[in-house]
Structure 1
Amino acid sequence: MSSEGIRVAALEDIPVGEGIAIGKSVTGTEDDIALLRDDDGSVYALDDTCPHEIASLAEGWVEDGFVECPMHSSKFCLKSGEVQCLPATDNARPHRLEIRDGAVFLFPNEAP
C-alpha cells in the first residue's frame, strides 16, 4: 500500500450526519470500511460491520462524535471505535484517514 493512502472518496460524497461504505475490494481489509461524517464536518473511518450483529454502521446515525447502529442502537465513538452501550460489547476498529484538497485518503489497518 502507498504511504500516501488510498483515495476513497471526495469529501462532498459524504453527507454531514451520515456515512458511506467503501468496499473491502478497494481497501484490502477484512471488512468494508465506513466513512462517517460527524455533524461538525469531521470524517472518521471505522470497520463497517457492527460487531454485535450484521448491520452497516455506514447506514447508522452520526452525531456528536458517535455513530449509532441502525439495527439495535449500539453507539460507537467515531475517534476510537469504543462501544458506548449495549447490546454491542466489542469495539469497532478505527482506521486512519486524511483529508487533502477535498479528497479523503484512507490508510487501512492503521490506527488513527
Structure 2
Amino acid sequence: MSAAIEYDGRAVCALEVADLESSLGWYQQALEFEVVHRLESWGWAELSTPLPGISIGLGQVEKPQTEGGVVVTFGVRDIDAARRHLESLGTRFDGETRMVGDEVRLATFYDPDGNTFMLSQRLEAR
C-alpha cells in the first residue's frame, strides 16, 4: 500500500527575522549552520544544519512574529558545552538547564529576533 504523502526526506523550518545579514551571521557563528541557498529578491536564505535533510529558512520581514509556534529542539551530546558556547556569544537563555525526570536535560534559548529554540541532551539509562 502506498503512502498518501510521499516525503522526500527534507524539512525546512522557516523563521522570520528583521535583518537577514545579521541573522545569517549569528546562525553561522552560534549554531555553525551553513548558507546553502539565497534568494535576495525575496529576502530569504536557507541554512543547512548538522542533521541530514533538516534546514532552517530565514525570511526577512519588517516585524518578525516570534510568539508561539513550533520550538525547534536540537539534540546535543553535551548540553553544558553547547550552552557555554552560545552564552559566550551573548545568546539569551530562558532560565537554567532543566532536568526532565531522569531522561533528558533541556535548555531554552533565543535567536537575536526572539525565535525560540531548545537544546536537548538525552541521559543514559540508569
TM-score (norm 1): 0.25
**Greater RCO, CA 8 A, separation 6+:** 1
* Larger-Rg structure: 2
